[in-house]
Structure 1
């Protein structure tokens, strides 16, 4: 948008290109308004046959890197889809291309489309194409390489259902999506569910039990619990996919799968992915490549749950607390706790609110009364389990649950909540406790991520302006420019180019 941004972007792009590809040339492209990133999957053999396997939309991006993909696109009509597919095939044929490849386009708000590039390889997001077509792209690549002809024609390739892919990145959305490294102390993806083979009618066979519609869950990954995430590779550690007959059902399946995905030990973007799945603009299919910048201009700060969902979480926490108490009473050797059949008054502290509740527990669960309304909570959750699957008045509720003093840390649907369950007298005393004040770091430039210092732009004694570049730190194949938050004078510089830093290491201090 400005000359300064153009100059900085130009130099940063040259640096990244030279580092990644040994070629720092820059190409100038058309500026497209309301851009959507839509790509066409092509497959061509050595006998002159070429087909397109429809499209994927990859408009949810940060730093021009895809975060969420889906197939098909909610934006394209059949005429545009056919035109893009035919041009993608024409391109593949013009260069004599064989194997699987992806032709990427930018599409504007009027469905005009512009060629971006062709990736002559299998893309990260290929599973969503496999899920809607039933075609194993890896198998077809091997067959093409073996000289075999494609076993299908364009007319055989139909779109069946809808598929979503969420990329799980080792990056912290609460810190501007900066890379995070460390050991995976917990890595437990949701259970994978196969959609089954295609029927002759072109519809998926699904023998999964439970739920209103057949769904599939797939997780492609290369990491494991106890493994180390280093600063030397791309931050993507898994790609989670769901499939369902409709886009709405595929989104619902993804919400549940994300809530069940357990990752600890590093910063990760699971909360952000969950928040996107609930965002009205995404649900309506009205996103562009500017989605993150427009919807989270001040950065991602977590999702805010509606009052109805907060009430369900409060009821669940109250029931879980009572279940834990009953279990402790049994383990201690005392007689079965007779109070579990008696109503008890408690106060739930959650999301800045105090919610008085009354709990009546029994062998199957608990009934929690909030504002005169009874919420029946049932679950097989036990203390020590990190994943809680409950139902509240018959509706499922899946949360990641960890014990904290007098309560739980509960994470669901993009929200990270510290929920405390206290007796009324304890609640009165807590209100009198002073708040802990964080140390003042306003005069320090701290390294926001583990990385390598590429450049220090200022020296001690320099006066800097708001927004001025102070230093560049490289991590996980990306350069990150650190800027001044306000006008000031540099007092001292503690880091130098080529130095490796940890999170929150001091780079410089201001007067």
Structure 2
């Protein structure tokens, strides 16, 4: 389209067709620009943060994604009912849905995204690769033809050579993707990849590519207006991944030179221009050890990791999206874009790293952080002049979150809670700000990956900038939590419960005066139901040369199976205690929940090497022995979810490890197996039942192997 054909689309309200942190992030910029921001919400999200933040909200019917946020007819109806002139899809959900973009156009609503044709083309790995080859964009050698019979694919694989990748053409997120090491494995892996692709995307079409072993994952942010002007905003390094899902992202990349940035940027601009693209998009590449790079895919939407680009360019990318959607010309030239400073982002998930990153659900008892929101950072929304990067001007912490204390994380949606971005004039300063920000965060109520993220930032390979896509697999042992650190948390939890629960502990004032028994025993169960309960003995002791009555600051000896700890208690507060251990003075924030006899404590423990969150329940008064370990025959739900299959019936004889139920939660299937051998004496749920975390599902009458 020529300049003479420029047409500005007038709208004063934007409906955000998403939820969680991205909905909040888009709403903040829309409001800053003077637009009326409209939220939509499902039934479980009625009190969500994005609903509270918006100027107006519209209720969708249903709880699951397919019933609500993925229902095109409902979203379009919401636009009509609220008078929204434009719709921003965020990422995920309908952001790369050709039918949705077309439906918005048919309804006269501006879609804040690229044209439907570009979405459709780039949504196919096969067709997009064909287009990129024509545009002269470097691509991985492979097979991307239309013929999909097994014989043809096998011949193509043999010609490419092994190892190679099978990829679902319509796929993403690692589904329908398989690494094949040798020819003998090809047909079995192809069958699995096709099955996954068909179930996930409705198409079993695949492409084949030569495997690039341990590459870096580098992506280029592009922005284009409706008149053929396209620029790139530099690269992001997204190499640290788990199951093909990004965990840590940073800009700029530690290994990309100015010359390589120019080459990759020019290739990304060619990729976008070749399909008539406009709006924000990301062209993803694999960078091998020799410095060669290859097209991977193009994401036709805003990326989760877009904040790191914003911090090193100073540009508000959502504001740029809105400008382009409104038909305004992109005034910035490529020479205006200079990357200054450094930014690193991590994704906070409700998941348990110690249990293979099992997604978690539950009530957020407390969420606190010291980060700034996007509207407090001074990102540029006036694109008439050269921008100045925020990261170069100052150092600090940005938090893009989408929930509040007191809210519930349901099993219906992705478990990502927030994005935390550290920034500064250089990479090491950004890393320190991010690490400090994570250590100062408090998240009580459910298990998260906060400690795991901190361990990545402290890892020597990460600090050196040498990470590849194999980083998490190679460093899995180094990123674990030491057992003695968990022991310190157990001791502190017992002390907190003891001091806050015994009526005589009320004598502990700011001065430290205390009138409580000399000793007591408490039995604690870690939040992880797979762990045995542990007995803890608490005893008040005297300092050398003093009696207990002479002590203004009482000292407690806490002993458990893991060992002995000695704490000098300085003060207690409603939500924290101050103690001295090994000459270290630490403040331990906590929250107590639950009734007497079943009370639980969440607490944050500052270790020498990291800060971690822990949860324990006092089971001292329960009739059942609290020291019962795994293998008692009681099968509990691992989290809130839907029972999609029950694989055994009451009365069946089952073996330990045998699959009993398949639970679905947060888009992931979770197998529940027998923890003992015996007769299935009781089955309390059937397929189709919605269950709560730790709900009793079945009971096995244990039988001896003799």
Q: TM-score, normalised by structure 2?
A: 0.53
Determine if contact 1:104/1:115 at 8 Å carries over to the other structure: yes
Cα distance in structure 2, aligned partners of 1:206 and 1:91: 30
Cα distance in structure 2, aligned partners of 1:398 and 1:81: 46
Alignment partner, residue 120 of structure 1: 300
Cα distance in structure 2, aligned partners of 1:101 and 1:265: 36
Cα distance in structure 1, aligned partners of 2:195 and 2:674: 19
Deviation of 1:196 after TM superposition, in Å, equals 5.1
Alignment partner, residue 411 of structure 1: 605
Determine if contact 2:511/2:552 at 8 Å carries over to the other structure: no
SS in 2 for 1:327: coil
Cα distance in structure 2, aligned partners of 1:482 and 1:281: 36
Cα distance in structure 2, aligned partners of 1:109 and 1:38: 13
Instruction: Select the residue among 573, 576, 580 that pairs with 1:383.
Output: 573
Deviations 1:318-348 (A, max 9, x none): 9xx9xx955165899xxxxx99998987657
Counterparts of 1:359-438 in structure 2, within 5 Å, are: 383-386=573-576, 400-401=589-590, 409-412=603-606, 413-416=610-613, 437-438=627-628
Alignment partner, residue 369 of structure 1: none
Cα distance in structure 2, aligned partners of 1:448 and 1:254: 31
SS in 1 for 2:510: helix
Alignment partner, residue 470 of structure 2: 290
Alignment partner, residue 54 of structure 1: 234
Change (3 A) 1:347 1:262: same
Determine if contact 1:176/1:300 at 8 Å carries over to the other structure: no
Cα distance in structure 1, aligned partners of 2:213 and 2:656: 31
Q: Does residue 454 in structure 1 map to residue 644 in structure 2?
A: yes
Q: How many residues align?
A: 449
Deviations 1:158-186 (A, max 9, x none): 11111111211122222221121122121
Change (3 A) 1:329 1:266: closer
Alignment partner, residue 510 of structure 2: 327
Determine if contact 1:56/1:129 at 8 Å carries over to the other structure: yes
Cα distance in structure 1, aligned partners of 2:647 and 2:193: 15
Alignment partner, residue 16 of structure 1: 200
Alignment partner, residue 147 of structure 1: 327
Counterparts of 1:51-450 in structure 2, within 5 Å, are: 51-192=231-372, 202=388, 204=390, 214-296=394-476, 301-302=480-481, 325-327=508-510, 352=562, 354=564, 383-386=573-576, 400-401=589-590, 409-412=603-606, 413-416=610-613, 437-441=627-631, 446-450=636-640
Change (3 A) 1:51 1:5: same
Alignment partner, residue 89 of structure 2: none
Cα distance in structure 2, aligned partners of 1:145 and 1:8: 40
Cα distance in structure 2, aligned partners of 1:133 and 1:325: 53
Change (3 A) 1:492 1:96: farther
Deviation of 1:77 after TM superposition, in Å, equals 2.7
SS in 2 for 1:97: coil
Cα distance in structure 2, aligned partners of 1:5 and 1:484: 29
Determine if contact 1:173/1:300 at 8 Å carries over to the other structure: no
Moved more, 263-272 or 493-502: 493-502
Determine if contact 2:216/2:468 at 8 Å carries over to the other structure: yes
Change (3 A) 1:15 1:104: same
SS in 2 for 1:250: helix
Alignment partner, residue 428 of structure 1: none
Cα distance in structure 1, aligned partners of 2:353 and 2:675: 19
Cα distance in structure 1, aligned partners of 2:359 and 2:627: 27
- Which ranges of structure 1 fall in alignment gaps of 5 or more residues? 208-213, 333-337, 367-380, 420-434
Deviation of 1:241 after TM superposition, in Å, equals 1.3
Deviations 1:20-75 (A, max 9, x none): xxx45444444221033221110011222111111112222233222222111223
Moved more, 191-200 or 110-119: 191-200
Q: TM-score, normalised by structure 1?
A: 0.71
Alignment partner, residue 478 of structure 1: 668
Cα distance in structure 2, aligned partners of 1:52 and 1:177: 35
Deviation of 1:479 after TM superposition, in Å, equals 3.1
Determine if contact 1:446/1:507 at 8 Å carries over to the other structure: yes
Change (3 A) 1:339 1:471: closer
Alignment partner, residue 14 of structure 2: none
Determine if contact 2:513/2:554 at 8 Å carries over to the other structure: no
Cα distance in structure 2, aligned partners of 1:50 and 1:401: 51
Cα distance in structure 1, aligned partners of 2:331 and 2:270: 20
Change (3 A) 1:206 1:79: closer
Determine if contact 1:195/1:216 at 8 Å carries over to the other structure: no
- Which ranges of structure 2 fall in alignment gaps of 5 or more residues? 1-178, 500-506, 516-547, 594-598, 617-624
Determine if contact 2:637/2:691 at 8 Å carries over to the other structure: yes
Determine if contact 2:315/2:387 at 8 Å carries over to the other structure: no
Alignment partner, residue 37 of structure 1: 217
Change (3 A) 1:386 1:344: closer
Cα distance in structure 2, aligned partners of 1:267 and 1:82: 42
Determine if contact 1:304/1:415 at 8 Å carries over to the other structure: no
Cα distance in structure 1, aligned partners of 2:579 and 2:315: 34
SS in 2 for 1:142: helix
Cα distance in structure 2, aligned partners of 1:50 and 1:482: 51
Cα distance in structure 2, aligned partners of 1:56 and 1:234: 23
Moved more, 37-46 or 4-13: 4-13
Moved more, 407-416 or 79-88: 407-416
Cα distance in structure 1, aligned partners of 2:635 and 2:602: 34
Cα distance in structure 2, aligned partners of 1:345 and 1:277: 35
SS in 2 for 1:441: coil
Change (3 A) 1:201 1:227: closer
Q: CA RMSD in A?
A: 4.8
Cα distance in structure 2, aligned partners of 1:387 and 1:45: 56
